[in-house]
Structure 1
Amino acid sequence: MRLFFILFLFISLNCISQSKKDYRNYQEILDLIQDDYLEEAYLKADVLFNKTNGWKKINLLYSSICFEKNEFKRSVDYFFKYYNDHNPTNLNSIVLFAKSLYKMGAYEQSMYCFKICQNLDNNFNSIYSKYIENCRFSISSMLKPKKCISVNLGGNINSQYAEYLPFISADGNRLYFTRRCPDNINTFQEDFYYSDLSSNGVWQQAKGMQINSSLNEGAITISSDGKIIAFASCDRGDSKGSCDIYISRKNVDNSWSNPINLEVVNSRYWDSQPVFSPDGKSMYFVSNRRGGVGGKDIWISDISNNRFSKPYNLGQKINTQNDEMSPFLHHDNLTFYFASDGHIGMGDFDLFMCTRDNSYDIWSLPINLGYPINSHLNENSLVVSPDGKTAFFTSNKDGYGKEDIFQMVLPEDIRANELSELEINIINRPKGEEIVLSNILFEFDSYVLNKNSYVELEYLLKYMYRNLDFSIIIEGHTDNIGGPVHNQNLSENRAKSVYNYLINNGVDSTRVSYIGYGDTRPLMKNDSKEGRVLNRRTSFVVQ
């Protein structure tokens, strides 16, 4: 903020009738302030003040010095020794000063100045009121800080260059991010990297992705089943706008296909920061296209049969007249994080969350994540692991390079829902693939559910309550002990027992069906005890 404030001091200098030597001394003090020699500047200002019999303009030097020392109350006191807070001609200077204080997080002093602006000017009262409301919120938030500690992810991920825009996989074991680093001709470009989490909880050395090119790629998202990548790229030969969204699909050999411009989604404006919903039925992204609520808005494109729909705006509950960015839909499909400089917050971009009860419900009003997660600085690009509490974000505070990726544990009141192993399996598997209910137990040759089965079934119930368009076929399987007819009947009755449990606990019958396969679909050979145990199972497939 120094250059901004010093420039402000220069503007009105010519209005002062003093000797040329006084002007030179004044300029020398300004130079000292710019070079951060604040104590020397203060002493010289005292000398000049006494020599000139209290030259009023020197109060702005005192104010600037106190401002740079974060002594904001004294800075305000000196400022208004020069400017009359009842004179409308001083309005622009007071507004400039109030915004400078606000940018530094000096909320009490900023609010005081904006209230003066309100009294001097009714034309922009709503603007001043917004700043005042933000100041009140910030002061209140800082009086009740949330308990959270951030940790740098270390040298396996962060480097001397800038790392940002993290994205976590649906199982929480792979972290993707963007790195801005020099290429072979010593120019900087953006590429994708990933790091895997080891069994002892350590992020491994980051590796570049095969999808990287000589062009800039940024803001990666990956579908829950790991088969589709979406990302933003700017100024490509086939771009519709300044930045477009591209997709790439995983080939059978696990390589990635050539990126394709998502033409139905992109506009002739700026389109970026895509993120898939965990059920793969929509993609959220950010755009400054026409027809939105404000500047940069969050938009949605629905996905059906691998086809993307024409985008629609997320609406005024989330989008504001200012900017929203970095959307992230948690893997529970019920918790939505994003950044905004339009909702009530603490400064530049703040982080917010919305929730809903099920996937058909509308999002709640945004909740500010609070202090110290948010501050007077710029906070964005938050993603949360499937455990609902481990968050990853970008910051330029202490680290390895320009920007690093950090990790923190979210306070309980702003966490997403922790996912069970069953829920993660559902999210990660494509439709039609069998998902085994690993803890569904029956007595020998019986189709009566053992009470120990209820834990696993409650996980399935919870997922079905949250995702109302989720439908399944329950399958029963046996080993080859016993005759085919007996095994067929047993498998069908066991599948029906699970079906009845779900229906009796509120799941609509149109969303569930069941079938028995007897011993016709073994996972392993039936020539060992271990193989027969695996073959005796109850499972389901997503329709």
Structure 2
Amino acid sequence: MENITTDTQIHGYSIKRVFSLLLLLAISTVSFAQSGLSTDSKKAKKLYEKADKKYKERDFLTAISYLEESVRQDSEFFEAYIRMGSLYNAMGQEDSVYSKFQLYEKTALDPIASVLERLAFMAFDRGEYGKAESFLNKFLVKVPERESSRDIDLLIRSIRFAKKELKKPVDSIELKILPSEVNRFKLQYLPSITVDNASMFFTKRDYVQGDEDIVVSHFVDGKWTPAESISPRINSSLNEGACAVSADGRTMIFTSCDGKYSLGSCDLYITRKVGDNWSKPKNLGKPINSRYWESQPSLSADGKTLYFSSNRTGGLGGRDIWVSKSADGKWSVPINLGGDVNTPKDETTPFIHPNGSDLYFSANSYPGMGGYDLFVSSKTDSLWSIPRNLGFPINTFKDEVAIIIGAEGQMAYFAKEEQKNFEILDSKIVSITLPKEIRPDPVSYNIGRVTDKETLIPLKAEVEIIDLNTNKVIYRNESDSLTGSYLMIVPAGLELAAYVKKKGYLYSDFHFTTQTNKVSEPDTINIKLKPISEGESLILKNIYFDIDSYEIKKKSISELDNAYQLLIENPDMIVEIAGHTDDIGSKNYNQQLSEKRAGAVYDMLTSKGISRSRISFKGYADLQPLLPNTTDSNRKSNRRIEFRVLRVNQ
């Protein structure tokens, strides 16, 4: 959104506050008194005197009309121009302020420095970068020591950046307004989208100063459905907006302001979708919320990491980006992202891409096109890169303060406003195909249902994705308790293991490798979990050995950890670890290899504390193939380690 200024959004651009000081300076510097006025026209002076009287009566419109008449008598009467500019500022008419101050600068023999400074910022705010540079240079001639000040230095670097950006070809970049089914309100902004691009949630208002509500539109049969209220449990007579959803669309965190149970001016609330219904929202409470302002949340794909903006104490500036992680249903104390991202000014509206590494946000603290621009910073391990401006035409001289990007990394959505005199007329959600240089690493996803193998009853189970090369969990979530449906994120360019687990059942596991910078087509994988019972078996699909070796490779750690946890959670289960080979090699060799591999797994589990009385191991060579040993693919499936449940002690 470019400049929405409600409680859940960005407050007005801080430059306007600077001009309040300038107004006082202008009024005190240029007196309404006639002595020392630049005009020789008696009529112009008389009109100026009448304007003074009306000004003291607080009749600004009549005062301006007299001043307009005075400059018709003498077009070089510069005191009248600066006086009109000051009066228009008091009335909040910025375009008129800019017009009159320019006429003052043009006619005054020696314009005061503060007006030149203000003109430089006002020109920059309007995207008139050449004028901004000219006014700024004239100002610095008068006050050269200000060149190194933080605000002037930022303006200098921003003008250079903006002029460079405007020279880039942008013919291939096109903003597309989403259809009227989405843009059906006076204002719509701050979109959030599920990883399958099937549901878009956003904030709407029916008129500029109206109540904020959260609405949703679904993409069905190639079309967006009419946006409608997400739930009467969520929307109320208060402001609800600035929402974020997890990749599967079943966890939402949103902002509500001035509520009965709020800790501060705006707090973050959580709601979960079970089946087709959203739960009653719950204030996240401490340590997430405080007596300050917390808003503009963004959730990681699995809903376990929360980024948000806040002006709470302990930050680096006005509004900073903070992060918290959820474990065992509790959110950790938020951590400030630090100086790699945050600055003494404002950083807001974070969006963490489903890849978990690329963070997009809005800031007025880095060189940009004007006001708030959109930036991206990428995380490697725990370090964030230097933020990079998304450039023109995504950023303009207006305020751009929120963007979301699809899982595939190409399509972005954000809100664009229509303004007049810096007042918002309306806003619409638009889409754009991102240039390659600012695209995040893409991700895909798999979907399906988890059911009991015997009864086909839907199950609530944990779904976990592990990067086999780092053994780090990159996604963890749960299937829906009513439908059993799940979604798992699949990043590009990684070798991954997936585990689906529920107590009382043998877990299900599989392995897949994704190509770098290429999004695979989503797969539907339905999981049927086997209840733990005598005779059931589990293939450990993520146990790896080199050819002709029984030394377990490091990327097998996640499988061993899950096998260990299965035994710990089910202490009455007695299992055999069975080793199998393909038919290549002699019978004796395959027998020894299968037995040694099974023994290696046995040794690892007993070394972790599993009693030797609960597990045994045996090699079966190539005597129990799953598939005919006729192809390389079949042989690969036949080379395996298997858990067999021998009995379950009662």
* Fold shared per TM-score above 0.5: yes
Residue 397 of structure 1 aligns to a residue in which SS? strand
Q: Which runs of 5+ in 1 are unaligned?
A: 36-40, 436-458, 480-484, 518-535, 539-543
1:348 Cα offset (Å): 0.6
8 Å contact from structure 1 (residues 339, 379) kept in 2 = yes
Identify if the C-alpha distance between structure 1 residues 155 and 235 changes in structure 2 by more than 3 Å, giving closer, same or farther.
Answer: same
| Higher helix proportion | 1
Q: Distance in 2 between matches of 1:377 and 1:28?
A: 38
Map residues 462-473 of structure 1 onto 2, 5 A cutoff. Answer: 462-463=493-494
Answering whether residue 538 of structure 2 is matched by residue 508 of structure 1, we say no
Cα shift at 1:163:
1.0
Aligned residue for 2:395? 374
Contact persistence 1:98–1:114 (CA under 8 A): yes
- Do the aligned residues in 1 keep the contact of 2:78 with 2:107 (CA within 8 Å)? yes
- How many residue pairs get aligned? The number is 458
Q: Would you say the 8 A contact 2:497–2:509 is kept in 1? A: no
1:474 maps to 2:521:
no
For the pair 1:144 / 2:144, whether they are aligned, the reply is no
- Offset at residue 70 of structure 1 (A): 13
Shift of 1:236: 1.2
Trace 1:378-527 onto structure 2 (pairs within 5 A). 378-397=399-418, 402-422=426-446, 432-433=462-463, 462-463=493-494, 474-475=509-510, 492=539, 496=543, 508-513=555-560
| C-alpha separation in 2, matches of 1:473 and 1:498 | 20
CA 287–269 in structure 1, closer or farther in 2 if over 3 Å, else same: same
In 1, distance between residues paired with 2:47 and 2:497?
A: 70
Q: Do the aligned partners of residues 461 and 121 (structure 1) sit closer, same or farther apart at CA in structure 2, a change above 3 Å counting? A: closer
Structure 1 residue 298 corresponds to structure 2 residue 345: no
Letter in structure 2 aligned against 1:240: L
Give, in whole Å, the separation in 1 of the partners of 2:272 and 2:546. Answer: 35
Stretches of structure 2 lacking an aligned partner (at least 5 in a row): 1-14, 52-59, 87-93, 451-458, 466-489, 499-506, 512-525, 529-533, 564-576, 579-636, 641-650
Q: Deviation of residue 425 (structure 1)?
A: 11
Instruction: Indicate conservation of the 8 Å contact 1:225/1:430, yes or no.
Output: no
Matched letter for residue 340 of structure 2: K
Bigger shift: 293-302 or 221-230?
A: 221-230
Larger Rg computed on CA atoms: 2
Residue 342 (structure 1) shift? 0.6
Q: Structure 1 residues 20 and 145, CA, compared in 2 at 3 Å: closer, same or farther?
A: farther
Kindly state the Cα deviation for residue 166 of structure 1 after the two structures are TM-superposed. Answer: 0.7
User: Could you tell me which residue of structure 2 aligns to residue 271 of structure 1?
Assistant: 294
- Structure 1 residue runs of 4 or more that deviate by more than 6 Å after TM superposition: 4-10, 24-29, 43-47, 58-64, 67-72, 74-78, 423-426, 476-479, 497-500, 514-517
What's the offset of the Cα at 1:243? Answer: 0.9
Q: How far apart, CA to CA, are the structure 1 residues paired with 2:117 and 2:335?
A: 37
Calculate percent identity across the aligned residue pairs.
28
Partner of 2:110: 84
Contact kept? 1:150, 1:408, Cα under 8 Å: yes
Distance 1:23 1:372, change over 3 A: farther
CA deviations 1:210-268 (Å, max 9, x no partner) are: 12122221111122333322111111122111111111233466332342343221111
2:214 aligned with 1:167 = no
- Quote how far apart the aligned CAs of 1:60 are: 6.9
Equivalent residue, structure 1, for 2:210: 188
Letter matched to residue 399 of structure 2: N
| Match runs of 1:520-535 below 5 Å | none
Q: Give the superposed CA RMSD.
A: 5.0
Q: Distance in 2 between matches of 1:509 and 1:226?
A: 32
8 Å Cα contact 2:357/2:378 also seen in 1 = yes
**TM-score normalised according to structure 2 size:** 0.60
Partner of 1:135: 159
Q: Report the structure, 1 or 2, having the larger strand content.
A: 2
1:215 correspondence with 2:238: yes
Q: Describe the shift of the 1:92–1:308 C-alpha distance in structure 2 as closer, same or farther (beyond 3 A).
A: same
For the Cα contact (< 8 Å) 1:45–1:61, is it kept in 2? no
Alignment partners' CA distance in 2, 1:107 and 1:425:
56
Structure number with greater CO (CA < 8 Å, separation at least 6) is: 1
Residues 478, 278 of structure 1: alpha-carbon distance in 2 compared, 3 angstrom cutoff: closer
Match of 2:462, SS?
A: coil
Quick one: which amino acid aligns to residue 249 of structure 1?
R
Superposed displacement of residue 361, structure 1: 3.8
Superimposed CA distance per residue, residues 45-78 of structure 1 (whole angstroms, 9 cap, x where no aligned partner): 996348xxx65658879999xx979999x99697
- Residues in 2 aligned to 1:22 and 1:352: alpha-carbon distance in whole angstroms: 51
